Amino acid sequence: MPELPEVETSLRGIAPHLSGQRIERLEVRDHRLRWPIPADTAERVVDQRIQQLRRRAKYLVLELEEGCLLLHLGMSGSLRVLPAATPPALHDHVDLVLANGDCLRFRDPRRFGMLQWTPSPAEAHPLLRDLGPEPLGPAFSGDYLYQRSRGRRAPVKSFIMDSHVVVGVGNIYASEALHRARIHPNRAAGRIARPRYQALAQAIRLVLSAAIAQGGTSLRDFVQEDGHPGYFAQSLSVYGRADLPCPCCGQPIRQRRIGQRSSFYCAACQH
C-alpha cells in the first residue's frame, strides 16, 4: 500500500495542475471502489473550483468552493494529469475533468481506493476525525510519544504504526526509523525512556523526509505521478534485507512478525 511519502509525492505532482482549476464534470466508469462512489457526487462537484490540495495522513484532500473531495489510493491506486481526450485503460475508473481540457485520472486495479465528497471541514469526516498528529508537523515530538506510551505494553513498532498515535508511519518506515534510533521493534512501548523517544521522533522525521525527497518507496504497484517508480528503496537500511549485513555493524539483519507485519531489525544495534 502506498505510504505517506508516496501520497505526498503524488500530491506535489498533481497540485500545480489542479489548484485554481474549475471542475467541468466527474466521469465514473466503475463505482465499485472500496466504498461505492455515491451517484450524486458528480452533481456536487461540477462547476466548482479547486481552491487547495493538501494531504491528511494517507488521504488527499481537494478543497472545493463548497465541501471537499477525499481521495485514498488504496493498495494499488495511482493518479495522472492527462488531456481529457486520452482514451482510458482497463483500470482507469475515475476522471475529474477540468475546464482547461485536462483531467485527473484515478487508476486502481484492485479497487481498494476511495473517492468521497464530504462537507467542510474534511477533518470532521469519520475517517479523519480521530487521527493522530502528522509526523512532520509541530504537534509531533519525542515528548508527545513518551506521554502517549505510558502504560502501553504493545511493541513500540505497533505503537508508532497506530494512526491514532501518529499518522503515516507505515511498516517500511517504522522499521527504518527504529533502526536509525537503535530501538528494538518488539520492545514494550511503555518501557522506553523519554530521551530514546526523542531520538525516535527525530528518526521518523528524517526517514520520512528522505523518502519524500527521493520520491517514495519503490513498491511493486507504486509509481510516481509521472509514471516512474520511486527510488527510496535503494536507500533502505533494514526493510526487506533479511540475512544481509547491517549497514552499521555488519551483523545479519533479522526478520520476525510483529503485529501481523514483517519486521526487520539488527539484534546487535537495536535493543
Indicate which residue of 3, 6, 24, 63 is catalytic. 3
Considering only CA atoms, which of 2, 173, 170 is closest in space to residue 77?
2
| Cα 104 from Cα 80, distance rounded (Å) | 6
Residue given cell 497506530 in the structure block: 162
Query: Does 205 count as an annotated binding residue?
Result: no
Chain-centroid distance, C-alpha 105: 19
Indicate which residue of 49, 111, 187, 261 is catalytic. 261
Query: Does 93 count as an annotated binding residue?
Result: no
- Known catalytic residue at 5: no
CB neighbours of residue 228 within 10 Å: 10
Q: Residue 260 contacts by C-beta under 8 Å, 6 or more apart in sequence?
A: none
Q: How many CA atoms lie within 13 A of 144 on its CB side?
A: 15
Query: Does 17 count as an annotated binding residue?
Result: no
| Cα 157 from Cα 225, distance rounded (Å) | 30
In this structure, are residues 96 and 130 in contact, taking their beta carbons and an 8 Å threshold?
no
Treating both helix axes as pointing N-terminal to C-terminal, what angle do 171-181 and 194-214 enclose, rounded to 10 degrees? 130
Residues written for the chain: 271
Amino acid at position 17, single letter: H
- Known catalytic residue at 58: yes
CB < 8 Å & 24+ apart, contacts of 181-185 = 182/269, 182/270, 182/271, 183/156, 183/270, 183/271, 184/156, 184/265, 184/267, 184/270, 184/271, 185/155, 185/156, 185/157, 185/258, 185/263, 185/265, 185/270
Chain-centroid distance, C-alpha 78: 12
Indicate which residue of 55, 56, 58, 157 is catalytic. 58
- Known catalytic residue at 157: no
- Known catalytic residue at 148: no
Indicate which residue of 2, 135, 155, 185 is catalytic. 2
- Residues comprising the binding site? 91, 110, 152
List, by residue number, the catalytic residues: 2-3, 58, 261
Enumerate the known binding-site residues for DNA. Answer: 91, 110, 152
